[in-house]
Amino acid sequence: MQMSEHVTIDDRLKGPLSGVRVIEMGQLVAGPFVGSRMADFGAEVIKVESPGQGDAMRRWGHHRYKDQSLWWPVLARNKKTVSANLREKRGQDLMRRLIKTADVLVENFKPGTLEKWGLDPESLHIINPGLIIARVSGFGQTGPYSSRPGFASVGEAMGGLRYINGFPDQPPPRTGISL
């Protein structure tokens, strides 16, 4: 595309996901990381947090600025936030209203959590048949390991990455970034 006097700065900053609405029910790193990448590409991302304390990443880690984790601005940038207690009917009803207007849902709860709240994919597709649902979990939604936590350190160890990292006379270290 050649620059012309008809192209505005706003047009150049929109990104390929401009016009896409994402509801992020993510917590900690995996789900919010997906949401932040989508926001970086121009999607409108609405992050749903627990009332009172919000996402645990607000408090995670030793390095802080203005009483917040340094990770929080990285994972929350370019997002809107809303607070909802998804264990209660009122919070579940709010989610259903948000889902009606969404293009994508990103979640990384323990498998079975959405189903327990009546927000399973089948029910959500009745509300919004075109909804794309991204379910992030370490071991999938079904199968023998599905109930196990799936943090980066677990994947690094199970995949052998920690074994080949570091020094022979020391314990296996973490990789430089989360996988």
Residue 104's CATH number = 3.40.50.10540
The Cα–Cα gap between 57 and 50 comes to: 12
pLDDT at 132: 98
Residue 138 included in any domain: yes
Please tell me whether residues 156 and 139 are part of one structural domain. no
Within-domain flag for 99: yes
Number of domains in the chain: 2
How many whole angstroms separate alpha carbon 99 and alpha carbon 93? 10
CA distance 15 to 24: 19
Which structural domain, as residue segments, surrounds residue 165? 149-179
Q: Are residues 179 and 132 in the same domain?
A: no
The answer to whether residue 109 sits within a structural domain is yes
- Give yes or no: residues 79 and 117 share one domain: yes
Please name the amino acid found at residue 2.
Q
Which is it for strands 64-65 and 79-83: parallel, antiparallel or unpaired? Answer: unpaired
Residues 45 and 74 in one domain: yes
Reported pTM: 0.79
Each residue's pLDDT tens digit, 37-80: 999 999 999 999 888 887 777 777 777 777 778 787 788 888 99
